């Protein structure tokens, strides 16, 4: 049976939302769950929510990492053998073989640093990457990196491309996933010096590299995986989320300020608009995989609701069951 560890102290409304999401996941999917965090707060919550037959156990963690944890202090905590925070204890459970994957909606930087120092990197990987999906005209596109590495070298982008290809194939079931290199023009030769140096290296790999892809091409669905440095990826992600919100917000505003017919139209269209928002909402994906560390780690938004937590747990379970980690390890070792 697949066992997923959830950091119960992750969301902005911890542990309530995290525990609710865990209960939803345990009710819906066939898996074992371990909740890591403040047992005094988690247990009563769990007992009030959960029927007896759910397979959820609690592992106590007296401390937690917050948005204030950063820099050298964070690294020190991540390296500390007896670290008592929920991320460290949770990841140790995976490392020691008691669980198969770790999920947290806590501080992304803290989760990355803890994973890097506690779990270590896959052999051959210098920089792990965060790989969310973007909504596209044809479905979705994996984009990596989106923030773990603001400065990248060509070799890092090649690693991202290989890991992204494996993930798109194993997790999303894409056959020979199309890999694009994000650039400011489609032609070979276009791009920053990083892109121009990376292009020929990608041509030498045995992944399905189709060349440069523009921001527009990513959203139009031209590729399954878009490879970029963490700086560009992060700006792409944050801008995209904000633009989607801007457009839906402007529509809402137009309805509110409109005449009676516009208002009726808005009312009639409400269910359809809700569907659109949900299709574009990151909460449906639930969490973003951190690719390149030795275990499966998924990091969600701090603003996740219980349903997003449930989806994050489902994503982790699916990644375990598709044995993504073995494929990743094999792909990066043979490169």
Which residues are near a second copy by CB under 8 A?
A: 135-137, 147, 150-151, 182-185, 190-193, 195, 214-220, 228-232, 234-251, 254-255, 258, 261-262, 264-273, 275-276, 279-280
Nearer to a second copy, 200 or 258 (CB): 258
Helices (H), ranges, the chain: 16-28, 39-49, 71-79, 86-95, 108-118, 154-170, 193-204, 215-220, 230-256, 260-280, 306-321, 324-334
- Looking at the Cβ atoms of 80 and 263, the one nearer to a second copy is 263
| Nearest CB to a second copy, comparing residues 36 and 237 | 237
Q: How far apart are the first and last CA of the chain?
A: 32
Block residue for tokens 């269209």: 269
Q: Which one, 176 or 238, has the nearer CB to a second copy?
A: 238
User: What CA–CA distances, in Å, run from 94 to 16, 27, 102, 215?
Assistant: 23, 22, 7, 36
Dihedral angle, C-alpha 192, 195, 198, 202, nearest 10 °: -160
**Cα gap 291→278, rounded to integer Å:** 26
Would you state the torsion angle of the CA atoms of residues 328, 24, 142, 105, taken in this order, to the nearest 10 degrees? -90
What CA–CA distance (Å, rounded) separates 64 from 86?
5
57 or 238: CB nearest a second copy: 238
Q: Give me the least distance between CB of 237 and a second copy, in Å please.
A: 7
Q: Which lies closer to a second copy via its Cβ, residue 219 or residue 297?
A: 219
8 Å CB contact between 123 and 89: no
The least CB distance from residue 287 to a second copy, in Å, is 19
Q: How far is the CB of 73 from a second copy (least distance, A)?
A: 15
Cβ 195 to a second copy, closest distance in Å?
A: 8
What is the nearest approach in angstroms of a second copy to the Cβ of residue 187?
Answer: 9
| Count of residues in the chain | 335
Output the smallest distance, CB 217 to a second copy, in A: 8
């Amino acid at each position: 049976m697949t066992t997923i560890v959830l950091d119960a102290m992750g969301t902005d409304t911890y542990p309530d939302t995290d525990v609710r999401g865990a209960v939803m996941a345990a009710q819906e999917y066939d898996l074992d769950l371990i909740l890591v965090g403040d047992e005094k707060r988690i247990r009563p919550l769990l007992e009030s929510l959960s029927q007896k037959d759910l397979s959820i156990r609690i592992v106590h963690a007296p401390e937690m990492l917050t948005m204030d944890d950063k820099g050298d202090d964070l690294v020190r905590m991540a390296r500390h053998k007896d670290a008592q925070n929920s991320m460290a204890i949770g990841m140790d459970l995976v490392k020691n073989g008691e669980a198969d994957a770790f999920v947290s909606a806590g501080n992304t930087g803290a989760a990355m640093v803890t994973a890097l120092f506690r779990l270590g990197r896959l052999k051959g990987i210098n920089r792990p990457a965060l790989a969310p999906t973007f909504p596209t005209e044809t479905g979705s596109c994996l984009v990596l990196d989106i923030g773990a590495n603001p400065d990248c070298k060509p070799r890092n982008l090649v690693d991202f491309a290989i890991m992204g290809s494996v993930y798109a194939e194993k997790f999303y079931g894409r056959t020979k996933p199309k890999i694009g290199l994000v650039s400011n023009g489609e032609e070979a030769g276009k791009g920053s010096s990083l892109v121009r140096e990376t292009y020929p290296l990608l041509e030498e790999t045995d992944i399905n590299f189709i060349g440069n892809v523009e921001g527009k091409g990513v959203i139009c669905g031209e590729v399954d995986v878009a490879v970029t440095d963490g700086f560009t990826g992060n700006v792409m992600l944050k801008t995209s989320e904000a633009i989607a919100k801007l457009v839906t917000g402007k529509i809402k505003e137009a309805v509110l300020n409109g005449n009676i017919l516009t208002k009726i139209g808005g009312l009639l269209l409400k269910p359809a608009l809700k569907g659109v928002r949900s299709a574009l909402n990151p909460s449906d994906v639930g969490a973003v995989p951190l690719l390149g560390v030795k275990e499966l780690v998924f990091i969600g938004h701090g603003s996740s609701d219980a349903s997003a937590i449930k989806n994050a747990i489902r994503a982790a379970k699916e990644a375990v069951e598709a044995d993504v980690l073995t494929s990743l390890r094999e792909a990066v070792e043979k490169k």
